[in-house]
Amino acid sequence: MSPDEYCQNKATKSGSSFYYAFLFLPPERRLAITALYAFCREVDDVVDECNDPSVARRTLAWWHQQVDLLFKGQAEHPVMKALLPHIGPCKLTAARMHAVIDGMEMDLDQSRYLDWPGLQKYCWHAAGVVGELSVGVFGYQNDATLEYADKLGLAFQLTNIIRDVGDDARRGRIYLPVNELQQFNVKASEILNSQYSDRFVALMRFQTERAKSYYREALAALPEVDRRNQRPGLAMAAIYHALLLEIERDQWHVMDQRISLTPIRKFWLAWKTWVSGGKRLSRQFAQ
C-alpha cells in the first residue's frame, strides 16, 4: 500500500464530512488535503483510543518527532511520506502541525473549561490551526484568508461540541464552559447523567447562536480573491451549518443520540456550494 493509499483509506473509513468537500479538488490538492486529514485523524485517535494517558503522551511525543523529521525531509510514517511533497506548495509549517498535536495533549490535561477564552484556545488547537493548514492546501493570495480559516475552525469545533455533548459526557468530558453552565443553572451532573431540561435547551441555544455568529464572521472575512480556491472549506461550512440547524430543529436532543446528515445530503450540499462558489451561503447562514 502506498502512502497516498494509506491516507485515502484513513479518510474513507472515518466517514467524516471532510470527505465530501474534497471530492471536487484537482488530484494533487486532493492528495495533499487527504494526507493532512489523515495526520489529524492519526493524532486524534491517540487520545480517543488509548486508555492509558501515559501511553498516549508517549505516542503524541513520537508524533512531534515525526513532524520534525518531516520538515528535515526524513519522513518515516506513511502519512508523513504522503505529506512530504506538499510542504512547499501548500505552505505547511511545522509550528502549525505541532499545534495540532498540542491540542490533543490538552485533552489529556483537562476535561473542563472554566470560561469561553479557555475553550476558545482549545478550539483553535483542535480546529482553527487545522483551518490555517487547509487554506494553504487549497491556495490563497491574501493573508486575511487565515482569519477566515480561524473563524471557520471555531465554528466547526463549536458545532462538534454541541453535537457530541452526550458522547463526550460518557467519556467524562464536558466542553461547555463552567461559568456558562452556572449562568443557565445547569449542573455538570445533569449532563453526565443525560438529564434533559428547559435550562439545558437554553444553554444549547446560547452555544448555537455563538457558533452561527462564527459562520457569519468567517464568510465575511474571506477575501473575494480567494473565494474560488477556498470552495472546499465553504462546502464544509455548508455541511456543518446544515448539521447545526438540524440539531436546533431537533431541540438539542444530543445527550442520548448523535445527530448527523445522510451521505447523499452531504454530497448535495458540497456539490451545490462548489458550483455556486459559496454565493448562497449568506442566505443559509442567516437562518
Domains and CATH numbers, the chain: 1-109 (1.10.600.10), 124-287 (1.10.600.10)
Write out residues in the chain with pLDDT < 70, as ranges.
Answer: 14-16
C-alpha to C-alpha distances, 275 to 24, 238, 268, nearest whole angstrom:
10, 13, 11
Quick one: pLDDT at residue 14? 64
Burial of 109 (0-12, 13-18, 19+ CB in 10 A): exposed
Quick one: pLDDT at residue 15? 61
**What gap in Å lies between CA 183 and CA 162, rounded to an integer?**
17
Quick one: pLDDT at residue 94? 97
The one-character DSSP state at 177 is -
Going by C-beta distance under 8 Å and a sequence separation of 6 or more, which residues neighbour residue 54?
none
What would the grid cell of residue 89 be?
A: 506548495
**What gap in Å lies between CA 36 and CA 84, rounded to an integer?**
10
**Number of Cβ within a 10 Å radius of residue 66:** 21
Quick one: pLDDT at residue 52? 87
Exposed e or buried b per residue across 176-199, where buried means at least 16 C-beta atoms within 10 angstroms of its C-beta: bbeebbeebebeeebbeeeeeeee
User: 3 with 78: CB under 8 angstroms?
Assistant: yes
Task: Give which of 244, 41, 227 is closest to 139, Cα–Cα.
Answer: 227
Dihedral sign, CA of 102, 146, 9, 236?
positive
Quick one: pLDDT at residue 24? 84
**What gap in Å lies between CA 231 and CA 199, rounded to an integer?**
38
The one-character DSSP state at 86 is G
Provide Rg for the chain, Cα atoms. 19
